[in-house]
């Protein structure tokens, strides 16, 4: 079974703090993704990575950055947290490949509250 883990289930941070959300997958997947989930909006893609040290912007990258130094780990960074970044953050991974859309598998999510 694919296992995607996220470092925290719940986080409370203050406005202006730098926040790190960590994601690890154990299936040697090449692709990794960060989404945020908000009521009524479904999941929106923040950033994704298709290889080590590679990153691509998703639909809502503003206010976020990412780091992928190792294949199994993908970090989401909030450089200066703001209250509008209070949300549920979900990490996902999938096999690489351009011939077929591989299934994305998700972690348990991190609920972030920015005060």
Tell me which residues touch other proteins (CB under 8 A). 9, 31, 33, 40-45, 48, 50, 56, 58, 88, 90, 92, 94, 97-109, 111
Q: Least distance (Å) from other proteins to the CB of residue 54? A: 11
Residue placing its CB nearer to other proteins in the complex, 16 or 108: 108
Cα separation, 93 vs 68, in Å, equals 13
Please name the residues in contact with 36: beta carbons below 8 A apart, sequence gap of 6 or more. 43, 44, 46, 60, 87, 88, 89, 90
Residue placing its CB nearer to other proteins in the complex, 12 or 41: 41
């Amino acid at each position: 079974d694919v296992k995607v883990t996220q470092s925290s289930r719940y986080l409370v941070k203050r406005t202006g703090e730098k926040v790190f959300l960590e994601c690890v997958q154990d299936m040697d997947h090449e692709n990794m993704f960060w989404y945020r989930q908000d009521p009524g909006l479904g999941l929106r893609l923040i950033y994704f990575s298709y290889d080590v040290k590679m990153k691509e912007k998703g639909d809502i990258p503003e206010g976020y950055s990412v780091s992928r130094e190792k294949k199994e780990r993908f970090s989401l960074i909030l450089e200066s947290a703001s209250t509008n970044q209070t949300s549920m953050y979900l990490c996902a991974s999938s096999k690489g490949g351009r011939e077929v859309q591989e299934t994305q598998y998700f972690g348990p999510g991190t609920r972030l509250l920015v005060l």
